[in-house]
Amino acid sequence: MFTPLAMKLEQAFFLLSLYKQTVIYLLQLPQSQIQTELFSRNIHIKFSLEIMKKLNKVNEINGQIIPYNHFYIPELRDKVDIRADYVNWVQQSKLINSPPMHFCDYPFVFDGPAKSMLLQTDAFMQMRTALEEAQRRNFQSLFLQNIDPVSPLLMLHVTRENIVQDTIQQLAHKGSGDLKKPLKVKFIILKR
């Protein structure tokens, strides 16, 4: 016979499994060109993810009764362009209008490899932004005298003998914006 806690736990697992399987099922359907069908799928996926979001919040409040990895949907990596979803999510967050559904609004569904892909995408975007900002500033410095040009790269000058020490010393003097730039390492040859 089940105790009340065991019954609640069983119900929580059942609900999570039900909505998770709904998302997986909808993602695995063949691609459709019919807009109303795509719209309907997205509504059902969003609804299922919203329920999972509430279950995840309740789970966190109650000390992870359900292990967090039970919320993962590994099929996302095969069925959704996670990188494009992230880029659209970041760009959409800057707009005031109501955004469409993005899987990045539900980070608890991403497993380790998916999160790694998101981190790589974010790092690339930050690097590109830092590079564009340096180029914009250098262009402005051509016309405005009070703006000094900056390097679009994070340039490190190191010796082979002291590569770690040289790197740490130079990184300690760099700002966080510099650390987002593409890296270029120049080896200095010591004359003996």
State the DSSP H helix or E strand holding residue 18, giving kind and residue range, or none if neither. Answer: helix 4-28
CB-neighbour burial class of residue 103 (10 A; exposed 0-12, middle 13-18, buried 19+): buried
Query: What's the rounded mean pLDDT across residues 11-33?
Result: 91
List the chain domain ranges: 4-79, 125-188
Confidence check: pLDDT of 3 > 70: no
pLDDT category of residue 100 using cuts at 50, 70 and 90: confident
Distance CA 179, CA 170 (A): 11
pTM of the entire predicted model: 0.73
Distance CA 100, CA 113 (A): 24
Could you please report the per-residue DSSP string of 133-181?
A: HHHHHHHHHHH-TT-----SSEEEEEESTTHHHHHHHHHHTS-TTGGGS
